[in-house]
Structure 1
Amino acid sequence: MFRRGSILAGALALAAICGSHDARAEGAFTLTSPDLKDGARFAVKNVGNNKSNPNCVGENISPAFSWANPPEGTKSFALMMFDPEGRPPGGVSHWVAYGIPVSVTGFAEGEVSKASDKFVGGTSTMKLATYFGPCTPPGAPHHYTFTLIATDLEPTALAPGLTRDELIKALDGHAKGATGLVGTFSKP
Structure 2
Amino acid sequence: MKRRLMPRVLAAAGALSLSAIPAAAQDFTISSSAFQDGGWLQQKHAGNNPKNPNCVGQNVSPPFAWTNVPAKATSLALLMFDPEGRRGAGVSHWVAYGIPVSATGFAEGEVSKPSEKYVGGLGTNKQSIYLGPCTPPGPLHHYTFTLIATTHGVKDLPPKLTREEFFEKSADKLLAATGLVGLCKKK
TM-based fold match above 0.5: yes
Counterpart-to-counterpart distance in 1, 2:61 and 2:121: 16
Counterpart-to-counterpart distance in 1, 2:9 and 2:85: 15
Q: CA deviation at 1:22?
A: 4.7
Conserved? CA contact 1:57–1:187, under 8 Å: no
Conserved? CA contact 1:122–1:160, under 8 Å: yes
Match for residue 20 of structure 1?
22
Q: Could you report, residue by residue, the CA deviation over 1:58-115 in whole angstroms, capped at 9, with x for unpaired residues?
A: 0000000010001121110000000111114431000000000111110000000000
Runs of 4+ in 1 over 4 A off after TM superposition: none
Match for residue 113 of structure 1?
112
Q: CA deviation at 1:171?
A: 1.1
Q: State the AA in 2 paired with 1:160.
A: P
Q: Are 1:6 and 2:5 counterparts?
A: no
Conserved? CA contact 1:46–1:58, under 8 Å: yes
Q: Secondary structure at the match of 2:178?
A: strand
Counterpart-to-counterpart distance in 2, 1:129 and 1:122: 5
**CA-based RMSD:** 1.3
Counterpart-to-counterpart distance in 2, 1:22 and 1:82: 21
Q: CA deviation at 1:118?
A: 0.3
Superposed, 1:59-74 pairs within 5 Å as 59-74=58-73
Match for residue 160 of structure 1?
159
Counterpart-to-counterpart distance in 2, 1:85 and 1:31: 22
Counterpart-to-counterpart distance in 2, 1:161 and 1:145: 20
Change over 3 Å in CA distance of 1:47–1:22 after alignment to 2: closer
Gapped regions of structure 1 (runs ≥ 5): none
Q: Secondary structure at the match of 1:70?
A: coil
Conserved? CA contact 1:71–1:176, under 8 Å: yes
User: TM-score if structure 2 supplies the norm length?
Assistant: 0.93
Q: Could you report, residue by residue, the CA deviation over 1:23-52 in whole angstroms, capped at 9, with x for unpaired residues?
A: 34xxx1000000121111110000000001
Q: State the AA in 2 paired with 1:109.
A: E
User: TM-score if structure 1 supplies the norm length?
Assistant: 0.93
